[in-house]
Amino acid sequence: MNFPIKRLVDGRALLNIGCGRRMNRSWTNVDFSPYARLAHHPRAARLLHGTGLLSDLRYERLQQVDPEIVCWDLRRGIPYPTGTFDVVYHAHFLEHVPRDAARLLLTECHRALRSGGILRVVVPDLQALAAAYLDAATRLERGDHAAKDDHQHTIAEIFEPMVRTGSAGNIHRSRVVRFAERLIRGNADRTGELHCWIYDKHSLGDLLAGVGFTAVRTEEPATSRIAGWKDFGLDADPDGRVDRPGSLYMEAVASLKHEG
């Protein structure tokens, strides 16, 4: 199956996989979420919205999805030839991939990049989460009862995404809608919403190096070796608002490899 490849005016091809709703339309965006599927079926989306199965908020979010988004199950690999892209990016996707499959996904990212291309990976930061938990626990031990909410919040931030059964987006919806959506889509485990693993800069760095990437380093939301990064508005809006504060941002370079 041949999927389109978008290119910038400078000729670069940039790929965003597992993009969810965070995307730039000048990139090639690939996802397998309900948003990606419904983007190609506007009549079905309007029907679901009209019946209340698709909330106003979700319908509004759907309007922001790239109409040219590639709907593809990435468990089948990245559907492009070797050495196609100058950049591959994924944010808050790797943690949803089972640990034994994460290496395969990153190997696919390496394959899809040209030699010298850049991979940017964004995940929840275990080190930051652990530090926040330890800070709250220490304050509690010192008698600071005001830290109780922070203590519970930090525990929930680490474990709730690993164990919940329902979709996080359905918490405030009616029981009927929650039941119908679970009947159609399945629980959080089936839909791939659960976190399967959590990384810090050391474990993720080792994983990237192990599949052939070099020059592995951490970045900030608005810093990157990707030319024009801030203008794409992916990890931070042009006004500086960070999409998911407290994340870990890592980049690596695809080594000379296999092309041909």
Residue 175 has a pLDDT of 60
Residue 41 has a pLDDT of 62
Domain spans in the chain, listed from the N-terminal domain onward:
14-124+173-254, 126-163
Distance CA 233, CA 61 (A): 16
pLDDT, tens digit only, all 260 positions of the chain: 689 999 999 999 999 999 988 899 999 999 998 877 776 666 766 677 677 777 777 767 766 778 899 999 999 999 999 999 999 999 999 999 999 999 999 999 999 999 999 999 999 999 999 999 999 999 999 999 999 999 999 999 999 999 987 655 544 455 655 444 554 444 445 556 899 999 999 999 999 999 999 999 999 999 999 999 999 999 999 888 999 999 999 999 998 754 44
Residue 239 has a pLDDT of 84
**Looking at domain 14-124+173-254, does it have CATH number 1.25.40.10?**
no
Residue 52 has a pLDDT of 77
Residue 169 has a pLDDT of 52
Residue 63 has a pLDDT of 63
Residue 260 has a pLDDT of 44
Residue 40 has a pLDDT of 63
